[in-house]
Structure 1
Amino acid sequence: MKTQNVSRTVLAAGVGAVLAATALLYVPELLDQGPPPPPGPAERATIAAHAGAQASLPDLAALITDREAWLRAHPDDDASWAELGAAYTERGARLGDVQDYPRAERALRRSLAERPAARGNTAAQLGLGALAGARGDWKSAKEWGEKVRKADPRRWPAYPVLMDAYNGLGDYKAAQKSMESLAGLHAGPMVRTRAAQTYRDRGWREDADAAALDAVALAETAPDKAAALARLGDLAWERGEPDEALARFGAALTRVRDHGPALAGRARALAALGRTDEAQRDWRAALARLPLPEYVLEAGELSESLGLNGDARTLYERLRTGTWADGEVALALLDADHGNAAAAVIRMRAEWARGHRSVRVADALGWALYRAGQPKEALGYATRATEEGLRSALFAYHRGEIERALGDQGPARRHVAEALRINPHFSPLLAPRAEATLAVLGEPSTELPRELRPEPEPEPEPVKGRGTGPGTGTGTAPKPAKTAAEAGAAAQAAAGAAAQAGAPQTAAAPRE
């Protein structure tokens, strides 16, 4: 399973933040007698938006219907056009329905026509930034977000747009700065969910979990509660804890019965626990509710791992022929592992050239190059993907296989083992291959690396002119001279022996 793109919930929260910036506050007409009537669905959606929360999908649909009807009678209302465009974008992001995006663009452009950006229409600009992010156009999203930030640095909905853009471009330091600015201007579950994403990208797992727990505690609407619980499930899954993930995704689904990210997450966890029939059921439900390209690929790989090759081919073909707003990474991984690796390289080089240099793109490009027979070039991208901070089992496995192809056995063993330590169930196809690779690589050698071995003792050097036999001009070096005390003792012993033998009691001075 390719499970690295776990930011869809966060993206939807950011789009909701833009809706908050564009929403008109409905104030029900007060009657002289009795309490005011409870807010209707469209009003509930607006109230949730102003709080920076997600509305329910039925309430969001009611808001869209209400604004469409209003604009037929008041076509010059720029604020309502901006609100309608933001609502279309949020619905498209939360349902995975790209048909809403052209509608959103028409509405937002109409808002700018009625009131240009030069006259302060920041709502439409924010809407266009969120729309660009939903489409995976990170450069445009950054441009729109920066325009609003420069015009009004305290306009908090600009910062979720910028965070998505910077993450997509691979500028993680700028994304963190935007997170800090957002936290200084606004509070609530959306902000804590954003913080969890930032900490996760830095590799700070405990902080990410704590922030996601905060988001659960702060959430007041069922969609917000489900989104925060799904984020907790994602974090547990990435740590290799499928039982914990299953509980968290199940809790999310009690709040929103057909929550797409929670259905997909529960499918992964069930597959890891060997409950594959239930996993397939949840994948079908997830794809019916939120048909994202990465979900289609994961469902196909589960089918392939179970020997259901016909089902896998059907899902792979669905991915190849579908219309996706942001499917380049999933399509490249599909081609690299199940199709034409050279085509995957071309696809990812184009993404890199667009400035889309996230860890996801770096990993996919490196893997495509490796599968296309270019491991030397692949290693640089794989290294970049694994050293940004995010702890990813998939990225570590990819790097290990690339290093193995280059003959770097030690680093290969280390990174493949790391993948299985991070999450031993990271993919129904690749996790078993990682185990097989580790078995082939074997245990690490007990011999020290060459650079750490001690220097050997030097052999005695031959000395010219002091042979050991007749006719030799070379020989070994003489033994070290005795000390004066040793020489004196030897001389006395020799003198004593000579006296006993009748020799003269004299001795030559010791040779220095």
Structure 2
Amino acid sequence: PVLIDAYSGLGDAKGVGKALDTLKELNSGTSVMARAGQVYRDRGWREDAASKLMDAAALAEGSAEKAACLYRVGELAWERGEPKEALRYYDAALRSDPDHHPSLAGKGRALAALGRTSEALRSYQSALVRQPAPEYALALGELYESLRLTPAARAQYDVLRARVKQEGVNGVNDERILGLFEADHGDADEAVDRLRAEFKRHGSPEAADALGWALHRAGEDEEALKYATRATDKGPRIAAFSYHRGEIERDLERYGAARRHIGEALLLNPYFSPLLAPKAREALDSLGDPPEGGPAEMYAANPPEPPTPPPTTSRPAPKPTAPRSGTSTSKQS
């Protein structure tokens, strides 16, 4: 399992596959099923991932192990844009282990998507009490910001900075979370510096997405697109990855690709972020519908003009002829 985590952090899909095969040869318990489910999710095999994780949850003996598996199934539902289904699994996980803080944070996210903001805030706050993780502080801060509760949002961002500093002393690496925070709410250039170093250490799709977004926020869109493309092509199907790539393409005036990827983000999960999902909808509206006639690259730059048909001349209607004398216009009986 440690090797799987290490290869995942490096973005080495082949290494992950080999380590998982070895793990399956050594054991076949619920922990192996859960690990396989997570690997399948990272590959984008959602149905296989859900099947493995549901089997692991059904066979789990300990409450903590069961909660972890149910939480993962909830995450799959969330990533499919199904907050009600996700909430059902988060609640099931919390019935198994009431202190499972990832499920509390996931529940807060799902409740916010369903418009139950007061409950969402309480759930996030409960998660932070149990584990003051920087990602929970960032999520809660952005929810406050979406509700225009700016002082409360700033307080959570301060918690994030303090927690990252404290965990850094203890050897915990939160550079990706801090980099994403700085890109959206702080110093984009500092975010680029942090995330360049992070990507060298951990070339995962998550690190590539974060670096690409920071470069975009710093105005380096050409380079940003390289990392955003890597994240969407080699990573799991995450709405935020598609949105980030689409916004970079929009700034590069690649409107067809931007329309496709921003639309994909909203199709994957219309609720993926309380701050960015509304911006995605605005961006898609501004892009409008694709032009008629198909992609521009299918046509020549200067197509020949169609030949002009010759002018048509109208002939005068024939004049009626008078009947000859001695004849009748009526039919004789």
Q: TM-score range by the shorter chain?
A: 0.7 to 0.9
Output the CA distance in 2 between the equivalents of 1:290 and 1:438. Answer: 37
Match of 1:426 in 2: 272
Match of 1:82 in 2: none
Q: Which moved more, 1:392-401 or 1:450-459?
A: 450-459
Label 1:420 to 1:216 Cα distance change in 2 as closer, same or farther (>3 A). Answer: same
Q: What letter corresponds to residue 124 of structure 2 in structure 1?
A: W
Counterpart of 2:105 (choices 264, 267, 279) is: 264
Is 1:362 the counterpart of 2:203? The answer is no
Output the CA distance in 2 between the equivalents of 1:272 and 1:458. Answer: 53
Label 1:249 to 1:457 Cα distance change in 2 as closer, same or farther (>3 A). Answer: same
Stretches of structure 1 that go unaligned for 5 or more consecutive residues are: 1-159, 461-512
Q: What letter corresponds to residue 133 of structure 2 in structure 1?
A: L
Residues 189-227 of structure 1: CA distance to partner in whole angstroms, max 9, x if unpaired?
111111111111111110010011111111011111111
1:292 CA drift (Å): 1.6
Label 1:278 to 1:398 Cα distance change in 2 as closer, same or farther (>3 A). Answer: same
Match of 2:192 in 1: 345
Output the CA distance in 2 between the equivalents of 1:289 and 1:382. Answer: 34
1:453 CA drift (Å): 2.9
**Contact in 1 for aligned 2:205/2:235 (Cα 8 Å):** no
Match of 1:415 in 2: 261
Is 1:207 the counterpart of 2:48? The answer is yes
Q: What letter corresponds to residue 421 of structure 1 in structure 2?
A: L
Bigger Rg over Cα: 1
Counterpart of 2:234 (choices 375, 388, 404) is: 388
Q: Secondary structure at the match of 2:234?
A: coil
**Contact in 2 for aligned 1:189/1:228 (Cα 8 Å):** no
Q: What letter corresponds to residue 277 of structure 2 in structure 1?
A: A
Matches within 5 A, 1:179-190: 179-190=20-31
Label 1:443 to 1:450 Cα distance change in 2 as closer, same or farther (>3 A). Answer: closer
Output the CA distance in 2 between the equivalents of 1:383 and 1:298. Answer: 25
Match of 2:82 in 1: 241
Residues 87-106 of structure 1: CA distance to partner in whole angstroms, max 9, x if unpaired?
xxxxxxxxxxxxxxxxxxxx
Aligned length: 300
Match of 2:180 in 1: 333
1:452 CA drift (Å): 1.6
Residues 127-151 of structure 1: CA distance to partner in whole angstroms, max 9, x if unpaired?
xxxxxxxxxxxxxxxxxxxxxxxxx
Q: What letter corresponds to residue 404 of structure 1 in structure 2?
A: R
Match of 1:228 in 2: 69
Using structure 1 for the length normalisation, give the TM-score: 0.57
Output the CA distance in 2 between the equivalents of 1:315 and 1:362. Answer: 25
Residues 261-295 of structure 1: CA distance to partner in whole angstroms, max 9, x if unpaired?
11011111100000000000000000111222111
Q: Secondary structure at the match of 1:387?
A: helix
1:352 CA drift (Å): 2.1
1:342 CA drift (Å): 0.3
Counterpart of 1:447 (choices 293, 296, 302) is: 293
1:163 CA drift (Å): 0.4
Match of 1:170 in 2: 11
Q: Secondary structure at the match of 2:148?
A: coil
Label 1:432 to 1:167 Cα distance change in 2 as closer, same or farther (>3 A). Answer: same
Q: What letter corresponds to residue 287 of structure 2 in structure 1?
A: L
Q: Which moved more, 1:263-272 or 1:173-182?
A: 173-182
1:370 CA drift (Å): 0.4
1:458 CA drift (Å): 8.5
1:330 CA drift (Å): 0.8
Residues 335-354 of structure 1: CA distance to partner in whole angstroms, max 9, x if unpaired?
00000000000001111233
Output the CA distance in 1 between the equivalents of 2:117 and 2:37. Answer: 30
Q: What letter corresponds to residue 177 of structure 2 in structure 1?
A: A
Label 1:459 to 1:336 Cα distance change in 2 as closer, same or farther (>3 A). Answer: closer
Output the CA distance in 1 between the equivalents of 2:271 and 2:296. Answer: 36
Match of 2:316 in 1: none
Output the CA distance in 2 between the equivalents of 1:211 and 1:459. Answer: 61
Q: Secondary structure at the match of 2:289?
A: coil
Match of 1:313 in 2: 154
Q: What letter corresponds to residue 242 of structure 2 in structure 1?
A: A
Using structure 2 for the length normalisation, give the TM-score: 0.87
CA RMSD of aligned residues (A): 1.5
Output the CA distance in 2 between the equivalents of 1:353 and 1:359. Answer: 12
Label 1:407 to 1:219 Cα distance change in 2 as closer, same or farther (>3 A). Answer: same
Output the CA distance in 1 between the equivalents of 2:69 and 2:211. Answer: 31
Output the CA distance in 2 between the equivalents of 1:172 and 1:296. Answer: 30
Q: Secondary structure at the match of 1:258?
A: coil
Output the CA distance in 2 between the equivalents of 1:291 and 1:176. Answer: 33
**Contact in 1 for aligned 2:206/2:235 (Cα 8 Å):** no
Output the CA distance in 1 between the equivalents of 2:304 and 2:195. Answer: 54
Output the CA distance in 2 between the equivalents of 1:406 and 1:236. Answer: 33
Output the CA distance in 1 between the equivalents of 2:267 and 2:96. Answer: 32
1:385 CA drift (Å): 0.4
Match of 1:286 in 2: 127
Output the CA distance in 2 between the equivalents of 1:416 and 1:450. Answer: 20
Output the CA distance in 1 between the equivalents of 2:221 and 2:262. Answer: 16
Residues 446-497 of structure 1: CA distance to partner in whole angstroms, max 9, x if unpaired?
123343237956999xxxxxxxxxxxxxxxxxxxxxxxxxxxxxxxxxxxxx
Output the CA distance in 2 between the equivalents of 1:289 and 1:313. Answer: 21
Counterpart of 2:250 (choices 395, 404, 407) is: 404
Output the CA distance in 1 between the equivalents of 2:216 and 2:155. Answer: 26
Counterpart of 2:284 (choices 414, 438, 444) is: 438
Output the CA distance in 2 between the equivalents of 1:230 and 1:458. Answer: 62
Q: Secondary structure at the match of 1:390?
A: coil
Match of 2:217 in 1: 371
Label 1:226 to 1:407 Cα distance change in 2 as closer, same or farther (>3 A). Answer: same
